[in-house]
Amino acid sequence: MTADVKKETLGFQTEAKQLLHLMIHSLYSNKEIFMRELISNASDAIDKLRFAALADDSLLEGQGDYSIQVDLDKEANTITISDNGVGMNRDEVIENLGTIAKSGTASFLESLTGDERKDSQLIGQFGVGFYSGFIVADRVQVHTRKAGESADAGVLWESCGEAEFSIESKVREARGTSITLFLKKDCEEFADDFRVRSVIKKYSDHISVPVMMLKPPAPPSEDGDAVSDTEIELEAVNEASALWMRGRTEVKSDEYKAFYKHVSHDYEDPLTWSHNKVEGKLEYTSLLYIPAKAPFDLWNREMSRGLKLYVQRTFIMDDAEQFLPLYLRFIKGVVDSNDLSLNVSREILQQDPAVESMRNALTKRVLDMLAKMAKAKKGNDYATFWKHFGTVLKEGPAEDTTNQVKIAKLLRFSTTHTDLEEQDQSLEDYVARMQEKQDKIYYVVAENFNTAKKSPHLEVFRKKGIEVLLLSDRVDDWLMNHLREFDGKQFQDVARGALELAGDSEEEKEAQETLTKESEALVERVSKVLENRVSEVRATARLTDSAACLVVGDFDMGSQMRRIMEAAGQEMPESKPILEINPAHPLAEMLDQEPDEDRFESLANIIFDQATLVEGGQLDDPADYVSRMNKLLVEMRQV
C-alpha cells in the first residue's frame, strides 16, 4: 500500500495568527523556554501511550522502552526533538496544531502586558507551549504517526509561523513525533551541544524518561587515530528518574521547582511544596505544590484540575480531581499509589475507599501547608497566596465541614480595625481584640469594599469601638451562611434582624424603648406609605449619622446572595426589607413635622430609595426617584 501524498495548505485560526505573530516578533527575553515546553510535551505524549498500552499493548509495536531524543545539526542550523509516545493522526494534527481552540489563546492574548518577560511567562500556563518553538525558529516541521497505525499513516506538518501551514502524508516507520526547528540566525546557540545540554539539565532533569543526545566523540587516541563512527552512541542528559520517588534529602530545591514547572506549565516558582511518603495500611507518595499565581481559568468550572495520578510509577491520568476537594483546585502535583490497580478509571476512583482515605489525608496535608505558611514571620508568601486563591478557599467551609475549623483559621478579612481593603486580618486576630463583654463576631456584607466600609450599619459600632468584618467578595454571603461560629463566638450580620449589643447599658436600653415609643406616630405614617415596599418600619438607635438603613429579616436571604442567584437566572421568592429610621436625624425630624401628605409620601420614598442605594442595591424605578428629587430641589429653591 502506498501512502497518500496529497498535500494541503490550510489557514490558522485567527487567534493562532495573533499568537504566532507574538512568538515571532515580541518574546525574546526567555528564548530557552521552548526547550522546556517541547520536552514537556514529548513527556506527556509518552505518558499517554503508557496509559493507553495498559488496555492495548499492541500500541507499543514491540518496543516498550520510552525515550526523548534531541538531535543537533550545526551545518543545517536545526534542532530536532523526537519522542516515541502516542503520536497523532492527520485530524489530530490539524486540531492540535492548526486551530488550537482548546488552548485558551484568547484569554492568553487578553492577559498580555507588553512586558516581554512577563508575557513569555504566560506561554506554558496557557497551554500554548508548542508555539514557543517559533521564538527561535523561522520554520517548524512536525513529522508524526499515531501509535498502532501503519507507517503509511505518517503526517508531515510544516509552517513558517505566518497565516498558513501545510500538511501532507509522509511515511514514518516509528510511532511518535519529531519536531524540527529551523533556527533563526540569531538563535544558532541552540544548535550547540553544550548550550542545549545545559538547558535540558536546567529545565528537564526531573523528566521520568531519558532525554537522549549523541555522546560527544572522545578525543583522539594517543596515536592520533580518530574515533570510528561505530563508537558514537546516545547518552541520557537528564536524571531520568521519577523525582517524587526519591528521598526528600536527595532532591534539591531547584529540582523541586523545575518539576513544578513541568507539572503545572507555570513559569514562576511555587510558593511552597510538600513531599511525603505514606506507609502502612495505605502506601502512596505525594508531591504537592502551592502556586504563586492563579491560572487564567481558575473560575471556569470546566477547567482541568487535580493531581497527576501514577500507580507504581506508571502514569494513569492527568487531572485526577478525586484526590482533593474542589476548593483546593489550585493545588498542583502528583500522587503515586501502590494500592490502586493499573487499569483504574475515573469511575472506579469515585467508588474506591482507598481514594477517600487518600483524599482526606491529602486535604489535611494541604491545609497544614497553608497553616505553616500563614504562621511564618518572614516573607509575604501567605499574603501572595491569599491575593490569588483566598476567594477559592472561602468555598471550603460549605464544602468541607470536617475541616471547617482548620479552614476558618486560614481565612483573612478586611475589618474596621484598619479600614484597609487588603484582606490581612485573621479571625484569631479579631477574637484577640474583642471587647470584654462582646460575645459575637460582627460582619457586614456589601457589593464592594467602599460600600461595606461606609455602610450606615457600622455607625453604632464605630461609636462604641466594636470591630466589624468588612466582606465584599461574591462568595462572602455564601461563606457566612455556613460558617456559623469561631472559637465559641457566633457570627452576627449587622444588617440582619434587630440589633442587640452585649455591652449596652440599662440606660441605653431604656433610651431605645423611649425612642421607639416617641416615634410610633412617624413609624406608622411611613409604614402606610411604604407598605408595598417594606415588610416593616421601625425606629433604631443603630444609626448616628444616617437617616435610615435597610435591614434583612432574620430568616431572609441576604441581598448579595439574592443578586447573585437572580443573575444566575434563579427565581427568588418575594422578600421585602425592613426600614429602620433614625428619629434623631434632621431629615427624619423634618419628615415627622411634614403636614402635607403628598410631600410626606415623596420624602418617605426618597429616604427608602437612598437607603437602597447606600447598601449597593438597584432601584426598581430610578426615573421616579430622580423625579422626586428634582421636585424637592425645585421646592427648596422657591422657599
Task: Note the pLDDT tens digit of each residue in 518-552.
Answer: 889 999 999 999 999 999 999 988 898 999 999 98
CATH placement of domain 243-381: 3.30.230.80
Burial label for 574, CB within 10 Å (0-12, 13-18, 19+), is: exposed
Q: What is the model's pLDDT at position 574? A: 77
Closest among 210, 157, 211, 146 to 179, alpha carbons compared: 157
| 255-270 pLDDT, tens digit each | 999 889 888 878 889 9
Q: What is the model's pLDDT at position 524? A: 94
Percent of the chain with pLDDT over 70: 87
Given a contact cutoff of 8 angstroms between Cβ atoms, the answer to whether 180 and 80 are in contact is: yes
Confidence of residue 190 (pLDDT cuts 50, 70, 90): very high
Q: Taking the domains of the chain in order of start, what are their residue ranges?
A: 7-218+231-236, 243-381, 412-493, 506-638
Q: What is the model's pLDDT at position 383? A: 94
Position 129 pLDDT exceeds 60: yes
Alpha helices in 232-380 (DSSP H): 253-264, 346-351, 353-375
Q: Which residues contact 410 (CB under 8 A, 6 or more apart)?
A: 367, 370, 371, 374, 393
CA–CA gap between residue 575 and residue 578 (Å, rounded) = 10
Confidence of residue 121 (pLDDT cuts 50, 70, 90): very low
Q: What is the model's pLDDT at position 116? A: 46
Q: What is the sign of the dihedral through the CA atoms of 62, 64, 65 and 68?
A: positive
Rounded to an integer, the average pLDDT of 81-105 is 78
Confidence of residue 480 (pLDDT cuts 50, 70, 90): very high
Rounded to an integer, the average pLDDT of 9-26 is 67
| 217-243 pLDDT, tens digit each | 776 666 656 555 556 689 999 877 788
Domain 7-218+231-236 has CATH 3.30.565.10: yes
Topology at the third CATH level for domain 412-493: Rossmann fold (3.40.50)
CA distances from 199 to 72, 242, 255, 628 (A): 14, 19, 13, 72
CA–CA gap between residue 74 and residue 188 (Å, rounded) = 8
Position 101 pLDDT exceeds 50: no
pTM listed for this prediction:
0.73
Count of CB atoms situated within 10 Å of the CB of 318? 16
Confidence of residue 125 (pLDDT cuts 50, 70, 90): very low
**Range of lowest pLDDT (73-82, 232-241, 354-363):** 232-241
Rounded to an integer, the average pLDDT of 121-128 is 44
**Range of lowest pLDDT (133-137, 376-380, 454-458):** 376-380
Confidence of residue 105 (pLDDT cuts 50, 70, 90): very low
Position 396 pLDDT exceeds 80: yes
Rg (CA), the chain: 33
> Nearest 10 degrees: CA dihedral of 358, 363, 367, 372?
20
Rounded to an integer, the average pLDDT of 196-222 is 83
Q: Which residue has the higher pLDDT, 499 or 166?
A: 166
CA–CA gap between residue 76 and residue 573 (Å, rounded) = 73
CA–CA gap between residue 579 and residue 306 (Å, rounded) = 47
| 418-477 pLDDT, tens digit each | 999 999 999 999 999 999 889 999 999 998 999 999 999 999 999 999 999 999 998 998
Averaged pLDDT score across all residues of the chain: 85
Rounded to an integer, the average pLDDT of 495-511 is 77
All cell numbers assigned to 598: 403628598
Position 94 pLDDT exceeds 90: no
Q: Which of 40-54, 72-86, 503-517 has the highest mean pLDDT?
A: 72-86
Given a contact cutoff of 8 angstroms between Cβ atoms, the answer to whether 288 and 248 are in contact is: no
Position 109 pLDDT exceeds 60: no
All cell numbers assigned to 319: 487531572
Q: Which of 42-46, 73-77, 294-298 has the highest mean pLDDT?
A: 73-77
Which of these CATH numbers, 3.40.640.10, 1.10.3370.10, 1.20.120.790, 3.40.710.10, describes 506-638?
1.20.120.790
Confidence of residue 104 (pLDDT cuts 50, 70, 90): very low
Q: What is the model's pLDDT at position 220? A: 66
**Range of lowest pLDDT (46-50, 85-89, 442-446):** 46-50
Q: What SS3 class is residue 444?
A: strand
